[in-house]
Amino acid sequence: MADCNSGRCAHSYLVAAQSSRSCGGSGAPIHSIDGLGPYHHAGPVRDPQGREMLFPTVQFAIFFTVVFLGNWLLMQHPIRWRWFMLAASYFFYGYWDYRFIALLAGSTLFNQAVAVAITRRRFDARVLVAIGVAGNLMVLAFFKYYGFFVTSVAAGTERLGFSVAPPLLDIILPVGISFFTFQALSYVIDVFRGRLEAASTLDFAVYLAFFPQLVAGPIVRGSEFLPQMARPRDPRRLDATRAFYLILIGLAKKIVIADFLASNIVDAAFATPGQFSSLELLIALYAYSVQIYADFSAYSDIAIGVAQLLGFQFPDNFNSPYAAVSIQDFWRRWHMTLSRWLRDYLYIPLGGNRGSSLVTYRNLMLTMLLGGLWHGASWTFVFWGGLHGVWLVWEHRRQELRVRRDLPAPADTPGRRVVRRVITFHLVAFAWVFFRSPSFSQAWEFISRLVTGGPGTGAISLGILLAIAVGIGAQYVPKGAVSSALDRLSRLRPSAQGALLGIALVAIDALGPQGVASFIYFQF
């Protein structure tokens, strides 16, 4: 292990040997399978040459300015626009590592060939969709889970008294592979189900590579994006006020809250929990809960805002998740595009709740376990998903027992809502320990220290407490208040709006730490 400013940086034997990487303070966990040494569960979040096209950078500002102008200048020339947008998206993706482009192009051609073959019905559609699903999952498994499989097999056989050591390969995980693979899967499956017509190859290529959501979502389905390409888009009808609001609020969440909490308490507390007191670790856990929400929702906000400036509407990805009154409610609010994807393409095909109670519980557990594994190749992620699965099963069981006994639903009083929100938040926060910790042993160390206590480091500051309070409290701001403020803002003169925009950008830059860290979900 090599120490970084965050105190938690390691070189993975699963990434190219010639590549050197450093932590960016993003809190992207580096997991290990206990007893087998370091294992970077989700590959690099930085490209081998150290280049990044992060939203809050000058490079992206220049790139987007060119794309924005080209987008609207070519809008009346659909074919030229498509080729321009495809080239821009491939440039954006290749900026991280040009080798990733070949994989993205290969995924495009493979999935389009399957979708067209399904549409033309030259072969059994069920066989074709099976080939499509298997092909996508094999690629994802090789790049993302090969090392996890190898180390798990080695650990398992060693415990059984013999040794099997499959060869380790130097594999660079392409950024955002989980996101564009899920989008490709939804496209092929929807074509098979008859919910979507196979698009032209060029249209599908633009959809799969469209740069705002390419790296870290939201997961946009073909049925949500492709029809928008066929409709003319008028720059005079853009809701630019909302778009710039989303971009600004995303920058503030990322720079002022997420990166601040990561660098001031989260990274250090999870790296060496034994050096912190119980209260400090509790605050660190709250801080990480806010950090991961602020970091991930920031990317989604900026992606939605950037897409809106280009004339496209993306689905919302977060809806005040820490205001949830149950775990089921939490998953209706957290990473909503993934939740809906897992529901429509995994939970329902497994049978959903159409069978017995045991079948429903099985389907819930499988969905959450696989959802945990989607986040990264580590047993701690699987355990994190399993915890949420257990709590969902428990909530379903309680509801079933209430219905079976013909008991009325409890009164929805303000006090009861507060209690349910507090309990739900702490269940979610507890599960984050395993999501964030580098290994099970370090997760247990964090939890043990959280309970047993000990001397601290004086790490808690007013700024940390304020960032946590803002991160959680902002989720209770009424949606109507935000809409009303945006409506008033949209009525201001462009010069006044521009001045407010400039002031906000200066304030964000002044309040945030120096430098910009990678987004946490880049590793997924």
List, for residues 9-57, the tens digit of each pLDDT value. 322 222 332 232 233 344 433 333 333 333 333 333 334 344 567 777 8
Q: How many C-beta atoms surround the C-beta of residue 154 within 10 A? A: 18
| Domain annotation covers residue 182 | yes
Catalytic residue numbers read: 375
Tokens of 500: 């407010």
Domain extent for 197: 58-235
Tokens at residue 422, please?
A: 């507090």
Rounded to whole angstroms, the Cα distance separating 295 from 250 reads 8
Render pLDDT for 409-443 as a digit per residue (tens, 0 to 9): 888 888 999 999 999 999 999 999 999 998 899 99
CA 303/CA 301 separation, integer angstroms: 6
424 is written with which tokens? 């739900």
More confident residue, 80 or 160: 80
Residue with tokens 């609001």: 245
Residue 51 has what pLDDT? Answer: 59
For the entire predicted model, the pTM comes to: 0.85
Give the position of tokens 């376990």.
Answer: 369
pLDDT for 406: 82
Tell whether the model's pLDDT for residue 135 goes beyond 70.
yes
The domain tally of the chain equals 1
DSSP at 50: S
d(CA 148, CA 12): 12
CA distance linking residue 243 with residue 311, whole number of Å: 10
DSSP 275: G
CA distances from 305 to 208, 249, 302, 309 (A): 18, 10, 5, 6
117 Cβ partners below 8 Å, 6+ apart?
A: 123, 128
Q: Which of 155, 143, 140, 144 is nearest to 33 (CA)?
A: 155
Tokens 């409890």 map to which residue? 410
Whether residue 228 lies inside any domain: the answer is yes
Rounded Cα distance between 107 and 459, Å, is: 47
pLDDT of residue 37: 30
* pLDDT tens readout for residues 234-256: 777 788 888 999 999 999 999 99
Of the two residues 224 and 175, the one the predictor is more confident about is 224
Tokens of 457: 């480091």
Q: How far is residue 176's CA from residue 173's CA, in Å, rounded to a whole number?
A: 9
Average pLDDT over residues 479-508: 82
Residues with Cβ within 8 Å of residue 82, at least 6 apart in sequence: 202, 203, 206, 229
Q: Residue range 302-308: average pLDDT?
A: 94
Alpha carbon 314 to its chain's center: 15
pLDDT higher than threshold 60 for residue 123 = yes
Whether 293 shows a pLDDT value over 70: the answer reads yes
At which residue do the structure tokens 């599908």 appear? Answer: 204
The answer to whether residue 212 sits within a structural domain is yes
Tokens representing 196?
Answer: 């979507």
Query: Mean pLDDT throughout 1-6?
Result: 34
Ramachandran angles phi, psi of 158, nearest 5°: -65, -40
> Side-chain half-sphere of 62: how many Cα atoms within 13 Å?
5
Half-sphere exposure of 345 (CA within 13 A, CB side): 24
* 115 domain-assigned: yes
Q: Measured between alpha carbons, how far is 266 from 260 in angstroms, rounded to an integer?
A: 9
Contacts of 269 (CB under 8 A, 6+ apart): 276, 280, 281, 284, 287, 446, 459
Mean pLDDT of 110-116: 96
With a cut of 70, say whether residue 76 has pLDDT above it: yes
Contact 434, 261 (CB under 8 A): no
pLDDT value, residue 438: 83
- Is residue 289 included in any domain, yes or no? no
Query: What is residue 164's predicted lDDT score, i.e. its pLDDT?
Result: 66
Q: Which helix (H) or strand (E) holds 514?
A: none
Supply the DSSP symbol for 316: P
**220 belongs to a structural domain:** yes
Complete DSSP assignment for 225-252:
HHHHHHS---GGG--HHHHHHHHHHHHI
Q: 315, 316, 317, 321: which is closest to 290 by C-alpha?
A: 321
Cis, peptide link before residue 438, omega less than 30° from 0? no
Higher pLDDT, 186 or 44: 186
Structure tokens at 367: 């969905």
Q: pLDDT digits over 158-175, tens only?
A: 677 676 666 666 667 778
Q: Identify which of 442, 456, 446, 370 has the alpha carbon closest to the alpha carbon of residue 10.
A: 442
**Any domain includes 350:** no
Quote the pLDDT of residue 516: 66
pLDDT averaged over every residue in the chain: 84
Residue 38's DSSP bridge partners are 32
Residue 168 included in any domain: yes
- Give me the phi and psi of 32, to 5 degrees please: -135, 150
